């Protein structure tokens, strides 16, 4: 099955045209040749950027010499009103300090403590979905996935369901923040001195202020519970009580607000994107949907998530085709030579999972939805060298293991309860702003799996 993919732009366009395309959608603003190029250069009057698809270059930038290629401020400029000095935006000693505190909370042994909360959020999602569809009706999948992913974050981070008053307000405000397209900022295109105004959109700033005020309430409440010895043993408590092993200091309240903002943005927005696309791909591939549902039929305990091999392969393939974060930007700190090309200092290096995961020289049938590729020996090199939905190297997402437990678990719980089928004429169109989403949402027909089985299987087309 060939899932939808945005049409690429013409190979050569003016800077003004590129900026207009970028504003509309990052993915379709790129030329088709990037899916086969090892490296590409893009020049503007203000800066040069280079796309690196060569696995050797990607390895050098992310794994071998990460200190020489810090994260660029270009994309982060638009997110700073919300994320402040969070681990997503910092470099150097500040980032080192943050990761020394954050990483222990996401270690495999401690991550297992979050599985019951994921299970509870998944069961709540299924109950809401079954109550909504009755014997069967159309649903908007991204909305359902977004609600579920937010519920997982609140339950695992602060031990509260999304129905909690503050949690519900944060979820509502994040929807407004997403719609404001925060990464579309002048500084993404033009290098500006630090004193120069960033001209963030008014609604972006207002939504960020409201979200940070709500998160501050949660952090202050948790600090009081920690002081009183009544705090639950969840992610927030673990992070707030973990000292930096080198300095002995913990996060201040202000620092914790920054970190919670990125945990929610990354954990909610990216997980929702991946789950929604996984549900669509399964709806469009009935055989794989059936296999996931059958595998999940005997699931009775969240600790059994490691047994969900089929669901995990489907989720991996979803992340390959629709990586939630389609591009990452690094910056050179000195002149470099890549593939016999001179790269100046302060050049922008674009690492694009969107192109790397679909590269015609690195993957067989790169645009095809084929979860079976994850078990074929001939795919091993591509998986090792050309797959990075969570980045790679020291800056790999600390929540990668969390996401790979949450995604297959929620996917399995949905598909064992509900059968999904595509709606003719409503193929989703991928676009990317904060993450890879569908331009007009993802609409599917859903009905309870037991009811569908009584009626003789899947709905016919038409």
CB 272 within 8 A of CB 149: yes
When pLDDT is cut at 50, 70 and 90, the band that residue 269 belongs to is confident
Number of domains in the chain: 1
Asked whether residue 237 is domain-assigned, the answer is yes
Q: Tell whether the model's pLDDT for residue 117 goes beyond 50.
A: yes
Backbone angles phi, psi at 264, to 5 degrees: -70, -45
Mean pLDDT of 237-265: 93
Predicted pLDDT of residue 44: 67
Which of the pair, 52 or 16, is modelled with greater confidence?
52
* 462 inside domain: no
Measured distance CA(460)–CA(330) in Å, rounded: 48
Q: Which DSSP state fits 407? A: H
What domain range includes position 416? 15-454
Closest CA to 446 of 150, 130, 25: 130
Residue 80 in any domain: the answer is yes
When pLDDT is averaged across residues 140-162 and rounded to a whole number, the result is 93
Judge whether 449 lies within some domain. Answer: yes
Evaluate if residue 165 carries a pLDDT over 80. Answer: yes
Question: Which comes out higher in pLDDT, residue 83 or 192?
Answer: 83
Those residues whose C-beta lies under 8 Å from the C-beta of residue 17, and which sit 6 or more positions away, are none
Reported confidence tier of residue 200, pLDDT bands at 50, 70, 90 = low
- Residue 220 within any structural domain of the chain: yes
pLDDT at 433 over 90: no
CB 297 within 8 A of CB 290: no
Confidence of residue 453 (pLDDT cuts 50, 70, 90): low
- Could you tell me if residue 27 is inside a domain? yes
- 461 within domain boundaries: no
pTM of full prediction above 0.95: no
Q: How far apart are CA 73 and CA 56, in angstroms?
A: 24
- What mean pLDDT comes out for the span 407-413? 97
pLDDT at 444: 97
Q: CA dist 129 to 118, 154, 224, 348, 416, Å?
A: 16, 19, 36, 44, 12
pLDDT at residue 459 is higher than 50: no
Q: Is 338 inside any structural domain?
A: yes
Could you tell me the CATH number of the domain that includes residue 68? 1.10.630.10
β-pairing verdict for 348-351 and 48-52: parallel
């Amino acid at each position: 099955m060939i899932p939808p993919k945005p049409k690429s732009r013409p190979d050569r366009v003016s800077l003004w045209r590129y900026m207009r395309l970028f504003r509309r959608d990052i993915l379709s603003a790129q030329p088709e040749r990037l899916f086969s190029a090892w490296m590409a250069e893009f020049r503007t009057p203000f800066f040069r950027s280079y796309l690196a698809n060569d696995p050797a270059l990607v390895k050098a930038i992310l794994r071998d010499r990460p200190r020489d290629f810090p994260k660029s401020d270009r994309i982060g400029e638009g997110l700073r009103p919300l994320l402040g000095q969070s681990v997503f935006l910092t470099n150097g000693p500040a980032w080192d300090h943050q990761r020394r505190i954050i990483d222990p909370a996401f270690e495999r042994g401690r991550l297992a403590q979050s599985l019951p909360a994921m299970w509870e959020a998944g069961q709540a999602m299924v109950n809401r979905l079954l109550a909504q569809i009755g014997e069967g009706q159309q649903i908007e999948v991204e909305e359902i996935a977004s609600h579920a992913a937010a519920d997982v974050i609140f339950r695992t981070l602060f031990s509260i369901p999304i129905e909690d008053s503050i949690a519900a307000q944060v979820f509502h405000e994040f929807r407004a923040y997403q719609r404001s397209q925060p990464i579309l900022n002048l500084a993404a295109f033009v290098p500006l001195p630090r004193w120069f105004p960033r001209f963030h959109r008014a609604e972006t700033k207002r939504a960020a202020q409201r979200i940070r005020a709500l998160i501050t309430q949660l952090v202050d409440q948790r600090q009081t519970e920690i002081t009183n010895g009544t705090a639950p043993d969840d992610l927030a408590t673990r992070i707030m009580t973990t000292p930096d092993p080198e300095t002995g200091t913990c996060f201040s309240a202000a620092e914790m607000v920054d970190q919670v903002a990125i945990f929610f943005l990354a954990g909610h927005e990216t997980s929702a994107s991946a789950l929604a696309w996984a549900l669509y791909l399964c709806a469009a591939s009935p055989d794989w949907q059936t296999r996931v549902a059958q595998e999940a039929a005997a699931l009775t305990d969240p600790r059994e998530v490691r047994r969900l091999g089929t669901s995990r392969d489907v989720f991996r393939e979803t992340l390959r085709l629709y990586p939630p974060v389609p591009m990452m930007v690094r910056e050179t700190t000195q002149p470099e030579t890549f593939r016999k090309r001179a790269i100046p200092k302060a050049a922008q290096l674009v690492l694009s999972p969107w192109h790397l995961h679909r590269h015609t020289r690195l993957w067989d049938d790169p645009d095809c939805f084929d979860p079976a590729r994850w078990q074929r020996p001939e795919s091993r090199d591509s998986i090792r060298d050309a797959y990075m939905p969570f980045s790679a190297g020291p800056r790999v997402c600390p929540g990668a293991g969390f996401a790979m437990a949450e995604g297959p678990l929620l996917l399995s719980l949905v598909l064992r309860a509900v059968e999904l089928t595509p709606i003719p004429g409503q193929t989703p169109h991928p676009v990317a702003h904060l993450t890879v989403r569908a331009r007009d949402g993802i609409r599917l027909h859903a009905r309870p799996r037991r009811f569908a089985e009584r009626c003789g299987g899947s709905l016919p087309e038409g």
